[in-house]
A and B are shown apart, each in its own frame.
Chain A
Amino acid sequence: MLLTSLIIVLREVLEAAVLLSLLLLICRRMGYSLTWLPGALALGALFAWGYSLNLEAITDWQEGVGQELLNAGLELLVVIGLFTVAWVSSFRSAGLQPRYMAFTGILAMVIIAALTQELAELLIYLDSALSVINSRGAVLAGATMGMGIGFSLGVLLYVFLSSLQNQTQKLMLFFLLALSSAGKASQAMGFLMQADWLESSLPLWNSADLLSERSVAGEILYAIMGYEATPTAGQVVVYVICLVSVSILYGRFRGLRHGLPRGERHGE
């Protein structure tokens, strides 16, 4: 029971922690404070609680696929938010500083959407597991450990990213933004297929023998980049589109570094 609780809590917390580390470091790089963060965390927790309280109604919505639609919607909000962060960051090097409220508002939206989804499952599980009196201790111990490990890994990522030299750090942040947005977009598509709002197809490949989703590495890659061993063609296409889009924005970011559009830098 302890191990089950640990794994469930760790999986959800890790996903949120990776995203949080990434966004907090980007916020710091832009020169903004984190005073907006506690409010965002609180709202995320509140919405997650609301989700868990209304599980039946949500589940029954739209002929029984409400959960999938809500999860896909939350994930798409995260994707849109991450794209916007990448886009806004790309203008920064041309000397344009985005407004504090607008930029931190986007970061808050991403965090609230991600937390609503991750924490809801956690709360539903804990509500269910803690109702069994005999194993309450084990469930709580496992949950605490899972939260601790997930949080620690998030801090580790933040410290690692902070330690990188300026140019390498920029590259890594954009790379992680690309992977996060691609992973979430692919997951959203997965939910829409699960809801039969999108047609499905046979998986394009099966990489489970190379890297099982059940392994530690597989779970970590799932948290960072939405790794799936059997993606469909549609999910792969969406994934690549996200990677390419963020890469294009990074290209603009670097091209505008000296205040000139890329083409003119090699000028006549």
Chain B
Amino acid sequence: MSITRLGLVLLMGWGFSLVSHAARPTYELELKNHLFHPDEIEIPANTKVRLIIRNRDDSSEEFESYELNREKIVGARHKATLFIGPLSPGVYPFFGEFNPKTAQGRIIVK
């Protein structure tokens, strides 16, 4: 039990030490008629960025990406903020889980 406790304390200490309050570059996406606009965004490599998604539709959508390991519900006529990265150079697809055939996009990391 003491090993577990020690491990948890160390983990919490390490975790809290990592919390960063640095300003993040911000990018915006819009969702209209179950389509992302723009459907491609370029971000710098090895940088954590803020992504704001504005849903202009009357129904909610879930922004999701296996490659980015991110998922977030964006309510109807509402916006959602999430952070992605840091990522190595490449193309990272994302989609709207509620409308996967139309709501598709890519994050291009250079």
Asked whether A68 lies within 8 Å of B75 as measured between CB atoms, the reply is no
Q: How large is the interface on A (under 10, 10 to 19, 20 to 34, 35 or more residues)?
A: 35 or more
- Which residues 1-48 in B have Cβ within 8 Å of A in the complex? 3-4, 7-8, 11, 15, 18-20, 24, 46, 48
- Minimum distance in angstroms from B1 CB to a CB of chain A: 8
Nearest Cβ distance between residue A57 and chain B, in whole angstroms? 10
Q: Chain B residues with Cβ under 8 A from A125's Cβ?
A: 60, 62, 97-98
Q: A121-B62, A197-B19, A229-B66 are in contact. Are A248 and B83 (CB under 8 A)?
A: no
Known: A124-B73, A128-B76, A132-B59. A196 touches B83 (CB 8 A): yes
- B20, A199: Cβ atoms closer than 8 Å: yes
Closest beta carbon of chain A to B68's beta carbon, Å: 9
Query: B-side binding surface: helix, strand, loop or mixed?
Result: loop
In addition to A4-B101, A65-B82, 14 A-B residue pairs with Cβ atoms within 8 Å of each other are: A55-B73, A55-B78, A67-B80, A124-B62, A125-B98, A194-B82, A199-B19, A200-B86, A212-B66, A213-B66, A228-B69, A230-B69, A231-B69, A241-B8
**Residues in B lying within 8 Å of A, measured CB to CB:** 3-4, 7-8, 11, 15, 18-20, 24, 46, 48, 50, 58-62, 66-67, 69-70, 72-76, 78-88, 97-101
- Complex A-B: 28 CB contacts under 8 Å: A4-B99, A55-B60, A64-B79, A67-B73, A125-B60, A125-B62, A125-B98, A127-B60, A128-B59, A128-B60, A128-B76, A129-B98, A132-B59, A190-B69, A194-B72, A194-B84, A196-B48, A198-B18, A199-B19, A200-B48, A201-B86, A202-B86, A208-B66, A208-B67, A212-B66, A231-B69, A241-B11, A248-B3
